A and B are shown apart, each in its own frame.
With several copies, the nearest count.
Chain A
């Protein structure tokens, strides 16, 4: 009986097995994520980051090995709604107001109306958009939409947050701002985060550990431990930070040239 937030054990994933277009997306992945950790997956395009995240979310099944989330099977965790999820595109529903978007998972979990409204209010406070509850997503900027998406993924207080390039579509300044917001929320809510990104500085800035993956078939190449203490604006200009950036880059280079 493990207390790991996530335990991926020798998990493999082959798409279109046996067909001419077979893809070996993941090969014997072993990874454990501790409670409260912030873990980042980075690697070249197509190396299987999203696939690994989706295995953890039980949105797809491993073709080998197994995935445990909070000590139970990933599928059970999905059914128990143990995690929240956010994607590159905010993926808000245009036809729902911001509040209603945040209430969506709560509705599906059968919360009462009053509870839902109250929680949506709290979440909007958390992401600093209290006055936008009644707006439709199209009235919000990209960064604000992404914040709503995060609020939605946190609304039912999952202890695990899975994020697939959530800031990929934002411009650099907005992105840095969102990173700080996410770290603040993370430290306030003590959530475990598994975060996929393409950006080396983002990975280095956010995580406690950076998992560097190699492609074809997707494997874990290196894990870079990061310990930059409390992040602030200064961290981004800190030589220690640049060092970690370089370390991750080197690891990626090695993966690419292999």
Chain B
């Protein structure tokens, strides 16, 4: 077990390093072609452009993490870490709300077959609505209409709601699968005990859905980060990785390394939340001697 984890970590590290070499290798190759004025149409069209503006050298990108950023007294790495925490907070709330909403939908659909038939297609279709279309709705309604809450509405919560829009979906779909996963004889067993729908839900359907739920939560955790990042870009909150990425994109011309570094930061955050959920999954399912589903 521990061995396997170490192995995977090592493999991952090796892969990352290899990617770095591939990147640098391709860049060197492309530049030598440019230098020699060869005309390789593929470079710069099907394949990326290789000059420093478009593919900054890896070492520059890494070094950028340790560069103090203008107007602050912090290095970029530190700033990215703080932005990550900001994004993580949004994502965590979105994740929590999305899980609850998704499970609620799953339970409603599991309860009634016609409801499932009627609504499931729309749950699926909802995911083709671009986040950017709902961002202004959420932000404005959040500020304006959510006065009934016991705490004051913060703009970052709007971003969470946007993240919720991405997270509820996998939870709803997989949750439904999970709630429907008990074998017929297990359902009949509950029926033979004259158990009510609620009793069956709590004692059979919900526990049975746990492995499916974890599979969904892994997707949802990642999706919540994506949602938070896109939401930050859209909604104008005072921080976060998404805003950082967007702003670094704006001043890309004068510092491409910063954008690369920020994207790497977001990748680390995404993988981090994924690993957290995977860890919890192993703990919970392993304790019960159950298999994870994918």
Contacts and interface: CB of A to CB of B under 8 A. Distances in A.
B183 A139 contact: no
B173 to A, nearest CB: 22
A255 B199 CA distance: 43
Contact of A136 (B192, B195, B208, B288): B288
A93 B189 CA distance: 11
B185 A95 contact: no
B193 A81 contact: yes
Interface stretch (A41-49, A84-92, A119-127, A218-226): A84-92
Nearest to A97: B288
Interface string A61-104: 00000000000000000111101110111010111100000001
A173 interface: no
Contacts of A85: 188-189, 192
Nearest to B207: A95
A257 to B, nearest CB: 30
Contacts of A54: 188
Contacts, number: 62
B186 interface: yes
Contacts of B74: none
Contacts of A133: none
Interface in B160-219: 183, 185-186, 188-189, 191-195, 199, 203-204, 207-208, 210
Contacts of A139: 289
Nearest to A139: B289
Given A93-B204, A94-B290, A59 B186 contact: no
Nearest to B191: A59
A89 B194 contact: no
Interface residues of B, number: 19
**Residue among A80, A81, A95, A136 with max Cβ neighbours from chain B (10 Å):** A95
A91 B210 contact: no
Contact of B194 (A81, A84, A95): A81
A136 B188 contact: no
Interface in A130-178: 136-139, 162, 164
**Residue among B185, B188, B189, B290 with max Cβ neighbours from chain A (10 Å):** B189
A48 to B, nearest CB: 16
A108 interface: yes
Given A54-B188, A91-B186, A95-B210, A108 B288 contact: no
B238 to A, nearest CB: 44
A245 interface: no
A57 B185 CA distance: 12
Given A78-B194, A139-B289, A104 B203 contact: yes
Contact of A89 (B185, B199, B204): B185
A136 B284 CA distance: 13
B290 A95 contact: yes
Contact of A79 (B188, B194, B199, B204): B194
B208 to A, nearest CB: 8
A105 interface: yes
A154 to B, nearest CB: 13
**Residue among B191, B192, B199, B203 with max Cβ neighbours from chain A (10 Å):** B192
Contacts of A78: 191-192, 194
Interface of A: 54, 57, 59, 78-81, 83-85, 87-89, 91, 93-96, 104-105, 107-109, 136-139, 162, 164
Interface of B: 183, 185-186, 188-189, 191-195, 199, 203-204, 207-208, 210, 288-290
21 contacts: A80-B194, A81-B193, A81-B194, A83-B192, A84-B192, A89-B185, A93-B186, A93-B207, A94-B288, A95-B208, A96-B207, A105-B193, A108-B193, A108-B199, A108-B203, A136-B289, A137-B289, A138-B288, A138-B290, A139-B289, A162-B192
